[in-house]
Amino acid sequence: MLLDDLDIKLLKENFDEETINSMDIDNISKIYLYLKENGIYYAKDLIITSLDLFLLPSEKFIKQFEKLKIKLGKDYVNKLGEDASLIELMYED
Amino acid sequence: MISEYNLKMLCEKYNISVDKLVNKNNNILNKGEFFEIDKTLNYLINDLNISPSNIEKCPSILYSNVENIRSNIEFLKKEHISFINIETCLHVLNTEHESLIGTYKYVVENYGVEALNKITSVLSCPKHIIKDIEKLNLNIDKIGNLTISSSINFGHTNIENIQKILQSEEYKEHPELFTSQTLAHAKIEDIQKILQSQEYKDHPELFTSQTLAHAKIEDIQKILQSQEYKEHPELFTSETLAHAKIEDIQKMLHSQEYKEHPELFTSTTLAYANIEDIQKMLHSQEYKEHPELFTSTTLAYANIEDIQKMLHSQEYKDHPELFTSTTLANAKIEDIQKILQSKEYHEHPELFTSQTLAHAKIEDIQKMLHSQEYKEHPELFTSETLAHANIADIQKILHSQEYKEHPELFTSQTLARANIEDIQKILQSKEYHEHPELFTSQTLAHAKIEDISKLLDMPYWKDGRYEKLLTSSIVAKAKVMISKLPMLFKMAEEYEISKYINTSFLLFSPSKNYALINYLIESNQPLVIEGKLNSVFAYQPGALKSKYGIDVKELIKKYPYKDDMEEINKNVTR
């Protein structure tokens, strides 16, 4: 997973410098790999719009995402791809 | 006095770089004595196991009285000051023993021992300086008094400079730009030049308290007028302006290494690294064998000597999975060895990840895992807590009234990322009492009440079109939303879709939404369908490409939103 100049520009529009600087590449890579394994082919888009969630420890993110999968049902890949706002469900404690 | 030849001989004996010593402080040649230096180096390296690189950073330790150093070390060890902090702050050992004890007692009594572990260098400062600073009643974090005292002791500033700053118009108009760092390092004349400059008027977003603390207007002007800034504005942030010089940036951006690996150069690399160190790294055998361990952060913060020690260590051979680019960028092999040899690692290996190795110190981990709080709430202690938190802050959180009343808002992430003062400000705020549903553990971990308050004070939430769009995730991202929302709402109003925008529209960047609007208009497709925003706005760009063949990145290039956004950004920052 490589962020190009345009990805970084979009990331800067979506998040403040402090949040971007908190990125832990290893943690994000683990989450990215997990998402890819779960068929989320647009995983990089999720990082750009929801970087704050990628700051969660990978184990916690995975736990929350598994809950999201249950809420969205079998077609979760398409549902999340077609309605970005569904990621909001991951903010619920 | 010692000759350069004799000093070199001694340095070779202890594996220290004579060049680094003399370049850092050539007083060592006049003030040092052969046998005294030998005795001190023997004590520091053979008895205390202090790494040569820390000695190279503090040559004055070598012309100090070794008995005074020994007394100071024994006292600080007895008082449980983290030895790692002393090791990276060797100059405190030069302090006259009685003065060090006086300052130690005063700081522990008035600020707590944790403050000393954070600002160990204050130990070299006579306690009357701290008292003088306290009398100024500065509107900063209490511990900032110690940062400023330490800076006065080093001669970076003085009481008169600080008083001038506090009485200035600039301080009254922009108090947010004045932190303890600004007061510790800047002069009012330099601050005035910066805040009155055309550069500040044109790019206020590039000026933070850090810029005021560390940069000079002449250097900033050179940077902003440079060809390099015009060609790569994305590489220049307030951090770059605060820490880099244009000559170093130019060397970096014209180097062969930048041409071959532009992905390794970010604004942080420009702010903190120099091209000579980067060249050593990228031409090393270690880089050739493990390029995956070298990222822009490694280039910005690490040096090749430390990386080599790490990659040739037994620990790396035994546990390669614990060594990542972040470990290389932030940790030292000596600290990692202490962690991996500890009883705590053998008892709780699941709490030790590459993150722990990269950010934590064994002394802090031990305090955490032996605490009463860990015994009572082990579920709140994860590898992230060990990596980023310290036990004093955790204790404050878990003993607070706020934790007792709202335990559901406190997760291991809150413990790892937040501090009790910020949490208390949030939970005691008018905003929390009026909208408790907008506050989750994520908000406590990431947002600050000042930003939340600004966000909730925005006029949009009184507007029927927008009030339903205010969610906890928007509040958790309050800081960026303050500048992003005006752009998005202005865009929505201009294209007459404000009644229809939804949460997805706010999640995406202004550039992405703007490009899609223009694409739809140009291809004669409606922005609104059956009373709802065209569903393409809610698609993840990857899904849009896969389903409809629409390439959002190409659209952003075709319909750039840059100028308008910069203008709004400036107004918001002002």
Find chain B residues with C-beta within 8 A of A18's C-beta: 479
Q: Do B507 and A81 touch (CB under 8 A)?
A: no
Of A42, A57, A88, the CB nearest to B384: A57
CA distance A42 to chain B (A): 5
Instruction: Give A26-75 as a DSSP string.
Output: HHHHHHHHHHHHTT-TTHHHHHHH-HHHHTS-HHHHHHHHHHHHHHH-TT
Can you give the pTM of this predicted structure?
0.66
Q: Domain count for chain B, please give it.
A: 2
Q: Do A41 and B480 touch (CB under 8 A)?
A: no
Beta bridge partners of B533: B528
Whether B489 and B573 map to the same domain: the answer is yes
Q: Do A82 and B476 touch (CB under 8 A)?
A: no
Which residue range forms the structural domain that includes residue B458?
A: 387-476
Find chain B residues with C-beta within 8 A of A44's C-beta: 542
Find chain B residues with C-beta within 8 A of A24's C-beta: 326, 355
**Tokens linked to A92:** 């619920």
Q: Tell the residue number behind the tokens 């150093």, with chain if given.
A: B69
Name the domain boundary from B420, B450, B476.
B476
Whether B457 and B542 map to the same domain: the answer is no
Chain B residue nearest residue A56, CA to CA: B413
Site from B474, B540, B558 to mutate, A interface, most A CB atoms within 10 angstroms: B540
Whether B442 and B495 map to the same domain: the answer is no
Q: Do B541 and A93 touch (CB under 8 A)?
A: no
CA distance B60 to B20: 13
Burial class of residue B238 in the structure, from the number of CB atoms within 10 Å of its CB (0-12 exposed, 13-18 middle, 19+ buried): buried
Chain B residue nearest residue A51, CA to CA: B477
**Tokens linked to B189:** 């004349």
CA distance B215 to B349: 44
CA distance B413 to chain A (A): 7
Find chain A residues with C-beta within 8 A of B381's C-beta: none
Find chain A residues with C-beta within 8 A of B388's C-beta: none
What is the pLDDT at residue B116?
84
CA distance B480 to chain A (A): 5
Of A13, A27, A60, the CB nearest to B509: A13
The closest of A38, A90, A33, A29 to A64, measured between CA atoms, is: A90
Find chain B residues with C-beta within 8 A of A19's C-beta: 446, 477, 479-480
Q: Residue B528: in which H helix or E strand, if any?
A: strand B528-529
Domain boundaries, chain A: 5-91
What is the pLDDT at residue B572?
40
Domain assignment of residue B502, yes or no: yes
CA distance A82 to chain B (A): 4
Mark out chain A residues that contact chain B at CB-CB < 8 A. 2, 5-6, 8-10, 12-19, 21, 24-27, 41-42, 44-46, 48-50, 52, 55-57, 59-60, 78, 80-85, 87-88, 91-93
CA distance B22 to chain A (A): 35
CA distance B440 to chain A (A): 7
Site from B267, B473, B506 to mutate, A interface, most A CB atoms within 10 angstroms: B473
What is the pLDDT at residue B29?
84
Tally of residues, chain A:
93
Name the domain boundary from B476, B510, B532.
B476
Q: Rounded to whole angstroms, what are the CA distances from B290 to A47, B16, B261, B263, B325?
A: 26, 27, 15, 16, 10
Chain B residue nearest residue A58, CA to CA: B384
Whether B498 and B547 map to the same domain: the answer is yes
Whether B568 and B503 map to the same domain: the answer is yes
Whether B415 and B492 map to the same domain: the answer is no
Chain A residue nearest residue B503, CA to CA: A85
Find chain A residues with C-beta within 8 A of B541's C-beta: 42, 45
What is the pLDDT at residue B573?
39
Whether B514 and B560 map to the same domain: the answer is yes
Domain assignment of residue B47, yes or no: no
The amino acid present at A54, given as its one-letter code, is F
Q: Tell the residue number behind the tokens 């036990």, with chain if given.
A: B391
Q: Do A85 and B239 touch (CB under 8 A)?
A: no
- Contact partners, residue B264, CB within 8 Å, separation at least 6: B257, B278, B282, B294, B295, B296, B299
- Determine what percent of chain B falls in helix, strand and coil, rounding each to the nearest 5: 75, 0, 25
What is the pLDDT at residue B562?
64
Find chain B residues with C-beta within 8 A of A83's C-beta: 504, 538-539
User: Does residue B188 contact residue B161 with C-beta atoms inside 8 Å?
Assistant: yes
- If you count residue pairs, one on A and one on B, with CB atoms under 8 Å apart, how many are there? 131
Of B440, B543, B565, the CB nearest to A91: B440
Find chain A residues with C-beta within 8 A of B442's C-beta: 52, 91, 93
Of A5, A26, A52, the CB nearest to B324: A26
Buried b / exposed e across B210-234, counting CB within 10 Å, b at 16+?
bbbbbbebebbbbbbebebbeebbe
Name the domain boundary from B411, B444, B476.
B476
Whether B460 and B539 map to the same domain: the answer is no
Chain B residue nearest residue A19, CA to CA: B446
Buried b / exposed e across B309-324, counting CB within 10 Å, b at 16+?
bbbebebbeebeebbb
ipTM confidence: 0.95
Whether B462 and B502 map to the same domain: the answer is no
Domain assignment of residue B453, yes or no: yes
Of B384, B504, B547, the CB nearest to A85: B504
Residue-wise pLDDT tens for chain A (93 aa)? 667 878 888 998 999 877 887 787 778 888 999 999 999 999 999 999 999 899 887 888 998 999 999 999 999 999 999 999 999 888 765
CA distance B540 to chain A (A): 5
Q: Tell the residue number behind the tokens 């300052």, with chain if given.
A: B103
Of A14, A50, A78, the CB nearest to B509: A14
What is the pLDDT at residue B248?
93
Q: Do A85 and B507 touch (CB under 8 A)?
A: yes
10-residue mean pLDDT series, chain B (574 residues): 84 85 82 86 85 83 85 84 74 90 92 83 91 85 87 84 89 85 89 92 86 91 93 87 92 94 88 92 93 88 90 92 87 89 91 87 88 90 86 88 88 82 88 89 85 93 91 89 93 94 93 96 95 95 94 94 53 38
Chain A residue nearest residue B330, CA to CA: A24
Find chain B residues with C-beta within 8 A of A42's C-beta: 540-543, 546
